Amino acid sequence: MNIVNARLRRREGWFTLVLDGGIIKAITPQTAMQAPNEGDLDAQGGLVIPPLVEPHIHLDATLTAGEPEWNMSGTLFEGIERWGQRKATITHEDTKRRAHETIGMLRDHGIQHVRTHVDVTDPTLAALKAMLEVKEEARHLIDLQIVAFPQEGIESFPQGRALMERAVEMGADVVGGIPHFENTREQGVSSVKFLMDLAERTGCLVDVHCDETDDAQSRFLEVLAEETRVRGMGARVTASHTVAMGSYDNAYCSKLFRLLKRAGLSFVSCPTESIHLQGRFDTWPKRRGVTRVAELDRAGLNVCFGQDSIKDPWYPLGNGNILRVLDAGLHICHMMGYEDLKRSLDLVTDNSARAMNLGDNYGLYEGRPANLVVLDAPDDYEVVRRQAKARYSVRHGKVILRREPETLRYA
């Protein structure tokens, strides 16, 4: 199968992509637009990119908002309380049904790579068991990484360390953490050291909910970064949220950024979630409660955007559209300059793939998997401005989504 009349990022003109055996065999320039042959996909001048990426979501909690109660305060901590209520009633099939429904939403928006955090502060590990099955059952649609996420703490939850170890034994790909939620700072520090030991010993990746609080004294990022640096694990470690950084003073950040560069870890920001959850204890002015995305990016650190939640106790909205989050994030993070807009898709494609350590399994290069999306806009700027839709989504050389053009009629 060929894809003709394609636009590519950072390249002029039109291109043909030759797909064969689930692999990108060739990418060749065209001298002009051309008529497609039978069996070809016509990009019609639309941008062709590797699949969009969702680097941070909680599939085990999606579609549970209001069950049994709504989060009325809008705070992170009430969200955790409400989830504790819902968690007591989850079943294997309930978790799988909601996860598959959410994966369908992600597919519809051109996403094929997903990292989900799964709560393992449950002695039965019910959600993890269900998600391991979902990972296999949804393989034809997405590649799924599973994070062993200790929602109620590693040190502060009974048998927290043993549950984390068991989750990795069962097949979790990534070791998570939540040091700012531990009962004391000392427990937060020891939880980071434990999770890094576990990941180093087992070869897992790391993705830590880190400093997701407006408290400017929450400084576990420096602990995670130093553990990453001394172990040489930068390519395998991600710090999610880090919203306390938005409240740090500039003098401290100047020192912190030197360490972050030496550590080489990645960052995920969930801007729509953070601006909703944070600033809840402020009167006026109210902080945005989002990490320093633009500053991290301009310092040469790898940073990307994630959705975090879809209709759950922490965030009542969401529909699987990562471009919606990109649009909001560019606004919230003051990244609306034309140079930022021209490369904005990095924040939901290449940077996210790097955070997930996808390596040669991602990207539009000859010899790599024929996984790609054809968008109905010609470049990054227009994709964001129009909130472009996926016209086609191709996985392992097969079309898994076709979207017919919308028809409008006027009186």
Per-residue pLDDT tens for 322-348?
A: 999 999 999 999 999 999 999 999 999
pLDDT exceeds cutoff 90 at 145? yes
204-220, pLDDT tens digit by residue?
999 999 999 999 999 99
Model confidence, pTM: 0.97
Percentage of the chain modeled with pLDDT above 90: 97
Check whether the bond before 369 is cis (ω within 30° of 0): no
pLDDT exceeds cutoff 90 at 246? yes
22-80, pLDDT tens digit by residue?
999 999 999 999 999 999 999 999 999 999 999 999 999 999 999 999 999 999 989 99
Instruction: Return mean pLDDT, the chain.
Output: 98
Per-residue pLDDT band for 360 (boundaries 50, 70, 90) equals very high
286-307, pLDDT tens digit by residue?
999 999 999 999 999 999 999 9
**Residue 410 β-bridge partners:** none
Non-local CB neighbours of 90 within 8 Å, separated by 6+ positions: 60, 126, 127
Distances (CA, A) of 282 to 97, 112, 156, 210, 331: 38, 38, 27, 21, 21
Residues with catalytic roles: 212
Query: 187 burial class (0-12, 13-18, 19+ CB within 10 angstroms)?
Result: middle
CB contact burial 198-208 (16+ within 10 A = b; e otherwise): bbbeeebbbbb
Rounded to an integer, the average pLDDT of 157-164 is 98
Residue pair 286/295 in contact (Cβ under 8 Å)? The answer is: no
Q: Which domains are delineated in the chain?
A: 2-50+363-402 (2.30.40.10), 52-359 (3.20.20.140)
Per-residue pLDDT band for 278 (boundaries 50, 70, 90) equals very high
Per-residue pLDDT band for 196 (boundaries 50, 70, 90) equals very high
Distances (CA, A) of 258 to 29, 121, 222, 225, 235: 42, 34, 10, 10, 17
Per-residue pLDDT band for 405 (boundaries 50, 70, 90) equals confident
Cβ count near 375 (within 10 Å): 25
- Whole-number pLDDT of residue 87: 87
- Whole-number pLDDT of residue 406: 86
